[in-house]
Amino acid sequence: MSNRTYDIAVIPGDGIGKEVMPEGVRALEAAASRFGFSVRQQWHDFASCDYYARHGTMMPEDWKQRLGRPSALFFGAVGWPDTVPDHVSLWGSLLQFRREYDQYVNLRPVRLMEGVPCPLAGRKPGDIDFWVVRENTEGEYSSVGGRMFPGTAREIVLQETVMTRHGVDRILRFAFDLASKRPRKLLTSATKSNGIAITMPYWDERVEAISAEYPDVSHNKFHIDILTANFVLKPQIFDVVVGSNLFGDILSDLGPACAGTIGIAPSGNINPEGDHPSLFEPVHGSAPDIAGQNVANPIGQVWSAAMMLDHLGEADAAAAIMSAIETVLKEPGLRTRDLGGRASTTDCGKAIADAIRTA
Ligand code: ATP
Ligand code: MG
C-alpha cells in the first residue's frame, strides 16, 4: 500500500445517489491505481430516507463517531419526498455535516464542455469556465428575527442578516486564494450595496481590505441583478465569483444551469483549513422520476470525485479524471439519456474509468 492513503466516507443516500455513487467510486479507484495512492472506502447507509424508514431519524445519534476522522465525505444525493418531507431529510443529513464540520465554503465549477448542449445560444466550450464561491454558514440565512403583532393588520415580520468579520473575511480569502491560482486572476464580488444599506457596504469594504493581501489578483464587483443577467449574457467575463449565502445560493444554481445539464455538475462543501473533513457531491438531487432505471448521468458524481482528489492534494489524478470525462462526453455512444444518448449509468461510468486508466 502506498503511503498516500485516503479514508473516504462513502454515503450514497437516496434514489439515483445509489446508482451514480458506484461510478464515482470506480473513477476514484481507477485514479488511485494509476497515480499510486490508496483509497479506503467506508460505506454508510445513513443520511438516507431508507435509514429514516427503519430508524425514524436520518442519521444515528453517534454519526460522528461512526464516521471517525475520514479524509473526506463522498456523498450521493438525499431525498425521497414520498416518505420524508424534503426539509426533514435535508436538515437531518447534509446540513448537519455542513454545520458540524464547519464547511463554510460551497464551491461549484461552471464549465461548458464539448458534447453538452448549452442553453445559451452560440456558446462554445472555452467560453464558459469559472467558479462560484458561496458563503455557507451565515449572512441572510440566519434565524434572527420574528413576527410582531401576528395576525393583526399591524403585523410586522423581520429577519436579520448576520455578517461577522470572521465569516466574511474567511470566505473572501478563500475566493481570492482560488483566483490567485487561476491564469486570469480575477475575482468578481456579488453585492447589492446600492439597495441593502448596511450589510452589503460592509461586504464591499471587506473585499477592498482583503484585496490588499492579494496584489496579483484583480477584482471587480457587480450588483446581483446585473450579475445574474451577465451570467447569461456575458459568461466569458468571469473567472471566480464570490457571494454571500443568499447571493451565492442563487449564483451556484444559475451558473451550472448556464453550462448545460444538471447531471454533470459537481460541488464541494469545504472546510479549507482541514480542521474537519469536507464533503463532495453532485449538484443534482435524488431524481425519483428516473431512479432505479440505470439511466442517470454519473458525471456529476465522477466530477465530484475529481474535486475531492484536488482538495486532498492529488491534482494530477483530478486532472486525469477531468480529461476522461471530456473524452467520454465527445463520444455520442457513451452519453446518457439527458444528453440525448442511450448509454446506461454503468456504461458511461465504466468508459470514464477506462479512460482514466489509459489517459
Ligand atoms: P433537490 O433534491 O436538490 O431539491 P430536485 O429534487 O428538485 O433537487 P433533482 O433530483 O436534481 O431535483 O432532479 C431534477 C430533474 O433533473 C429531474 O427531472 C431529474 O430526473 C433530472 N436529473 C437530476 N439528476 C440527473 C442525472 N444525474 N442524470 C439525468 N437526469 C438527472
Ligand atoms: Mg429532491
The DSSP string of 20-73 is HHHHHHHHHHHHHHHHT-EEEEEE---SSHHHHHHHSSSS-TTHHHHH-S-SEE
C-alpha cell at 222: 457587480
Contact 285 CB / ligand 1 (< 6 Å): yes
Over residues 41-58, the mean pLDDT reads: 96
CA gap 351, 328 in Å, rounded: 7
* Helix-, strand-, coil-residue percentages of the chain, each rounded to 5: 40, 20, 40
Q: Domain of residue 292: give its range.
A: 1-103+276-359
Q: Is 89 found in the same domain as 161? A: no
pLDDT at 28 over 70: yes
Q: Which residues contact 20 (CB under 8 A, 6 or more apart)?
A: 76, 77, 282, 296, 297, 298, 300, 301, 345, 349
Cβ atoms of 77 and 15 within 8 Å: the answer is yes
Residue 1 has pLDDT above 80, yes or no: no
pLDDT attached to residue 2: 61
Q: What is the pLDDT of residue 359?
A: 74
For residue 299, report the distance from its CA to the centre of ligand 1, in Å: 13
Q: Is residue 153 part of a domain?
A: yes
Residue 266 Cβ contacting ligand 1 at under 6 Å: no
The answer to whether the CB of 283 is under 6 A from ligand 1 is no
Rounded to whole angstroms, the maximal C-alpha distance in the chain is 70
Q: Is residue 249 part of a domain?
A: yes
Q: Is residue 282 part of a domain?
A: yes
* 253 and 280 part of one domain: no
Is residue 278 lining ligand 1, measured as CB closer than 6 Å? no
Higher pLDDT: 357 or 3? It is 357
Cβ–Cβ < 8 Å for 161, 142: yes
Reported ipTM: the value is: 0.94
Q: Given this model, what pLDDT does residue 202 score?
A: 98
- Residues 280-315 have pLDDT tens digits of 999 999 999 999 999 999 999 999 999 999 999 999
Domain count, the chain: 2
Give the mean model confidence (pLDDT) for residues 120-130. Answer: 92
CA of 285 to the centre of ligand 1 (A): 5
Q: Which residue lies with its CA nearest to atom 15 of ligand 1? A: 287
* Residue 233 lies inside a defined structural domain of this protein: yes
Of 231, 258, 285, the domain-final residue: 258
Domain presence at residue 123: no
Q: Which of 20, 80, 86, 262 gets mutated to test ligand 1 (max ligand atoms within 8 A of its CB)?
A: 262
Residue 346 domain-assigned (yes or no): yes
Q: Supply 76's cell numbers.
A: 450521493
pLDDT tens digits for 182-213? 999 999 999 999 999 999 999 999 999 999 99
Give the pLDDT score at 52. 96
Q: Which atom of ligand 1 is nearest to the CA of 289?
A: 20
Of all protein residues, the one whose alpha carbon is nearest to atom 5 of ligand 1 is 285
Q: What pLDDT was estimated at residue 3?
A: 81
- Among 61, 77, 72, CA closest to 13: 77
Checking if the pLDDT of 131 tops 90, the result is: yes
Q: Give residue 261's pLDDT band: very low, low, confident or very high (50, 70, 90).
A: confident
Task: Establish if 139 belongs to a structural domain.
Answer: yes
Give the Å distance between the CA of 286 and the centre of ligand 1. 6
Question: Which residue has cell 424534503?
Answer: 86
Mutate to test the pocket of ligand 1, among 83, 284, 290 (most ligand atoms within 8 A of CB): 284
Residue 176 shares a structural domain with residue 97: no
Q: Give yes or no: residues 140 and 85 share one domain.
A: no
> Collapsing DSSP states into helix, strand and coil, what is residue 159?
strand
C-alpha 112 to ligand 1 mean position (Å):
19
Answer yes or no: do 246 and 286 share one domain.
no
Cα 286 to ligand 2 centre (Å):
6
d(CA 247, CA 310): 26
Q: Tell me the ligand closest to 20's alpha carbon.
A: 1
Q: Whose C-alpha lies nearest to ligand 1, atom 2?
A: 285
User: Does the C-beta of 300 come closer than 6 Å to ligand 1?
Assistant: yes
Mean pLDDT of 251-271: 93
**Residue 138: which CATH number?**
3.40.718.10
**Could you tell me if 316 and 354 lie in one domain?**
yes
User: Is 110 among the domain residues?
Assistant: no
Examine the domain organization and report whether 178 and 282 are in the same domain. no
**pLDDT, tens digit, for every residue of 101-123?**
999 999 999 999 999 999 998 89
> At residue 262, does pLDDT exceed 90?
no
Q: What is the mean predicted confidence (pLDDT) over 117-138?
A: 94
Give the bridge partners for 146, in sequence order. Answer: 158
Name residues with Cβ closer than 5 Å to ligand 2, which is an ion.
Answer: 79, 285
Average pLDDT over residues 75-81: 96
Q: Give the residue whose CA is nearest to atom 20 of ligand 1.
A: 287
Our answer on whether the CB atom of 338 is closer than 6 Å to any ligand 1 atom is yes
Residues 86 and 134 in one domain: no
β pairing state of 72-77 and 5-13: parallel
Please check whether residues 247 and 294 belong to one and the same domain.
no
* Confidence (pLDDT) at 260: 85
Higher pLDDT, 20 or 263: 20
The verdict on 252 and 282 lying in the same domain is no
CA of 273 to the centre of ligand 2 (A): 30
Which numbered atom of ligand 1 lies nearest the CA of 284?
11
55-82 per-residue burial string, b: 16 or more CB within 10 A, e: under 16: eeebbeeebeeebeebbbbbbbbbbbee
Q: Are residues 280 and 241 in the same domain?
A: no
Note whether 133 and 95 are same-domain residues.
no
